Amino acid sequence: MTDEALAFPTARHDHAACIAEALDRAERLCAERGERLTTLRRQVLELVWSGHAPQGAYDLLEQLGQARGRVAPPTVYRALEFLQAQGLIHRIESLNAFIGCPIPEERHSGQFFICRLCGLAAELDVGAIDRAIDREATRLGFTIERRTVELQGLCRACREAQA
């Protein structure tokens, strides 16, 4: 993150700072809420934040295995469930994968732009998109509880590299 939260992650930004900031915010948030960000949960969050590309649960599982020996699926899934409940990560439905949330303080669903070449994903929270959806829901009499907005394609860098 570090300032480019809610934009497409640039190729060369200080990602160590992203990770550090994400972990700090997670600590603060959990403290405020009286929730326990245990070592395991913190490790999983750190792994999710290892890049700006969504991470699969079994990738995380394997990486986690390096840090601690032998880890079973429920270990990772439970941590992911906690992190999701706290709004610290989002699940990308179209990829069966997870990504860190740059603005965990506010509850939201976000819109995800995901590049199929470099794998990077940008989370945005564009009011205009939400409002267009809300208007339609109102017209239908539909009460929205959960939103999934995922756009896949090519990011600017990858499209330019293509040509």
Q: CA 149 to CA 120: how far, in whole Å?
A: 16
Whole-number minimum distance, CB 141 to a second copy, in Å? 3
Tell whether residue 136 is a contact of a second copy (CB under 8 A): yes
101 is in an annotated binding site: no
Give residues 59-98 in contact with a second copy (rule: CB under 8 A).
93-94
Pick the piece of the chain touching a second copy (CB under 8 A) from 16-24, 56-64, 97-105, 108-116. 108-116
The CA angle 3-6-7, to the nearest 5 degrees, is 85
Is the distance from CB of 86 to CB of 35 less than 8 angstroms? yes
Q: Which does 67 bind (CB under 5 to 8 A by kind): a second copy, Zn ion, DNA, none?
A: none
Is the distance from CB of 8 to CB of 122 less than 8 angstroms? yes
**Of positions 5, 40, 118, 157, contacts DNA by CB under 7 A:** 40
The crossing angle, in degrees rounded to 10, of helices 57-67 and 73-85 is 110
Q: Give how many residues touch DNA by CB under 7 A.
A: 21
Give residues 5-24 in contact with Zn ion (rule: CB under 5 A).
15, 18
Q: CA 77 to CA 14: how far, in whole Å?
A: 29
Is the distance from CB of 49 to CB of 18 less than 8 angstroms? yes
Binding mask 85-114 for Zn ion (x = CB under 5 A): ----------------x--------x----
